[in-house]
Amino acid sequence: MKIALCQLNYHIGHFDQNIQRITDAIQKAKKAGANLAVFAELAVSGYPPRDFLDFDDFITRCETAVQHIASFATGIGVILGAPVFNKTGKGKRLFNAALFLNNGKVEAVSHKALLPNYDIFDEYRYFEPGREFATIDFMGERIALTVCEDLWNVGSKPLYTFSPMDELIKQSPTLMINIAASPFHSQQAEIRRKVLTENVDRYKIPLLYVNHVGAQTELLFDGGSVAIASDGSVAGEACYFEPDMLLTDTQQLRTPNHLFQPVPQNRIGNIHDALVMGIKNYFEKLGFTKAILGLSGGIDSAVVLALAARALGPENVLGVLLPSRFSSDHSVDDALELTANLGTQHAVVSIEDAFQAFEKTLSPHFKGLPFGLAEENLQARSRAVILMALSNKFGHILLNTSNKSEAAVGYGTLYGDMSGGLSVIGDVYKTDVFALAHYINKQGIIIPTNIITKPPSAELRPDQKDSDSLPDYEILDKILCHYIEEFKGPNDLIEMGFEKTLVERVLRMVNQNEYKRHQTPPILRISQKAFGMGRRMPIVARYLS
C-alpha cells in the first residue's frame, strides 16, 4: 500500500482554507498513486482551537467540513483529525478524534485517549479521553490509529497509567499511524524521534507520523513528519518548517533502510527558521503585511530586524531610529549600516523634544528630584508612543525586541520597550541572541560586527551598560535556564556552584516581575518553557521574592 503523509499549514477556524488545502492534497496524493492520505491532529479546525471548542457552531462547522472532505475519499482512503461530539451522554462534550474516511464517508473513528494537560497543553479542559480501542482494516493492512500523546507514554517516567498501543497491539496490527500537533522547541525534534523509535522498538511494526507545520500565534510547529521502518530505521522524512508531502509504502517500511539520512538538527538554525516562520505566519494569518520596530543599534533589535526582513521581505519592514541625548554616534551609525545591508526602510525620529516636554510637564511634581529611573522610563515610553503612532498611521504591526533574559528579570519598561504586537525573541536568552546574530552572518556580514562585539546598553543614562544592573549574561542565562526550564530551586543552584547571593537576587527578580510579563505581547515559543501560555505563575505570590 502506498501512503502519502500530508504535512500542511492550517489556520485555526479558517474552514474554507483548511478544506481547500486538505482536498488539494488528497487530489495530489491520488495523482501520485497513493492509496491512503494522512493528515494531522485537528487538521479540520487547526490546532489549538482553545475556547472555540465551547461553541456548538464551531463543532458543527467541523462536522460539515469532514462531510465535504469525505466526498473526496473515493479511490483513496483518508485519515485526518477533527473534534467530534461525545454522544455517550457521559463526560466532556467532545472527543479529539482521528477519522478514517473511505468510499465517500466516515468509516471509522478513533478517540484520543491520553490528553496532555501540562505546559502549553490544556486538552482535558475540552475533551473526554477515549476508552475503546479498535484497529482499522484497509487494503490488507491492520492499522493501529492513534493521536499524538497516545504514543508518548514511554520512557522511564511515564505520565499516564496505561498506553493505548498496549491495547491495540492485542489486535495484531501491522502498521501504526499517529496524527499529531507537536509544537516546536529547540530540543523537540530529537525528543520526538526518540519517542517514536521507542514505540517501534516496543511493538515491532512500522510507524507513520504526521505533524502540523506553521505557526499559530506563539506556538510554532516544525513538521518533520516521518516514516519509520519496522527495524527502527528512518525510511523517509518530510521537510521542517514548510508544508510537504512524503510518499512511502508498506513494503519499504518492512525493508531495513540504510540509505536515507535524516536532516541533521542544528539548534540555532532551527530557532532561526522557527522564528522566521513564526513572524511570517503571524502576519499572514492576521492579514497584515508590514512591520515596524525601534532600532537602537543594539543586537536585539538588529536580530529582530534581520528575522523580520527574511520573513516579510525587506521592503515591508520599517526600522525606526529613536535617538536621545544619551544615544552614542556609533549606535546610530551601526543601525544605519544594518538597514543598508538588509535593504529595509528606515526613519530617524529624535525623542528629545518629546522627552523635554514630559520633563517640563512633570517638573512641578518631581520637585527638583535627581534624574533616575522615572526619567529613564520616560525615554522608553516616548519611543513607544512614536512607534505606535507610526503603526496606527501606516498600518504596521510593532515588533517587540526584548529577549528572554531581560523579560525574566524585568529589565524593560512597561508601555515602553516592552510594547508591541508580537514578541519575536522573548523566548531567546541573550547568549542565544548573539548566536543567532552569528548564524545570520554565516554567509557574509549582515549584522555589523560592532553591533555584536560592543557591550550591550539601554543608553538611557550616560555611559550606561547592561552589566551595571545585571550579572554577566553567560552566568545569568545559565541560572535562568536551570530555574525556568528545569525547575531547579535555590539550593539546587547553589549546589551546582552558583554564588548564593547571586542566586537569591536573580530568582527574586524573576518572581517579582511576573506582573510585567503578564502584560507583554505574545511570545514566539522556541524553548521547553516559554513565558506566556505555557508558564502559569501567580502575580502576588511571595515565593522566593
Q: Active-site positions?
A: 41, 112, 148
Q: Which of 308, 294, 211, 240 is nearest to 524 (CA)?
A: 308
Residue 141 cell numbers, joined: 493492512
Cα Rg of the chain (Å, integer): 26
Q: Give the helix ranges, DSSP H, for 131-187.
A: 164-168
Strands (E), 23-163: 36-38, 77-85, 94-102, 105-111, 136-138, 141-147
CA 294/CA 347 separation, integer angstroms: 10
Residue 150 identity: D
Residues 6+ apart with CB under 8 A from 203: 144, 165, 169, 173, 176
The sheet that has 207-210: what strands, in order across it? 136-138, 141-147, 175-179, 207-210, 226-228, 234-237
Residues 6+ apart with CB under 8 A from 529: 119, 484, 485, 535
Residue with cell 520526538: 192
Q: Which of 97, 218, 236 is nearest to 520 (CA)?
A: 218
CA 356/CA 104 separation, integer angstroms: 71
With 0-12 CB in 10 A as exposed, 13-18 as middle and 19+ as buried, what is 458? buried
- CA dihedral over 457, 460, 464, 467, signed as positive or negative: negative
Residue with cell 460539515: 64
The H or E element spanning position 124 is: none
Q: Which of 53, 35, 145 is nearest to 99 (CA)?
A: 145
- CA dihedral over 39, 201, 95, 115, signed as positive or negative: negative
Three-state SS at 331: helix
CA 542/CA 511 separation, integer angstroms: 8
For residue 294, CA distances in Å to 123, 383, 385, 462, 522 come to: 38, 8, 11, 20, 18
Q: Which of 391, 377, 429 is nearest to 408 (CA)?
A: 429
CA 188/CA 527 separation, integer angstroms: 9
Please provide the DSSP assignment of 365-422 as one string.
HHTTPPS-HHHHHHHHHHHHHHHHHHHHHHTPEEEE---HHHHHHT-S-TTTTT--SE
Residues 6+ apart with CB under 8 A from 170: none
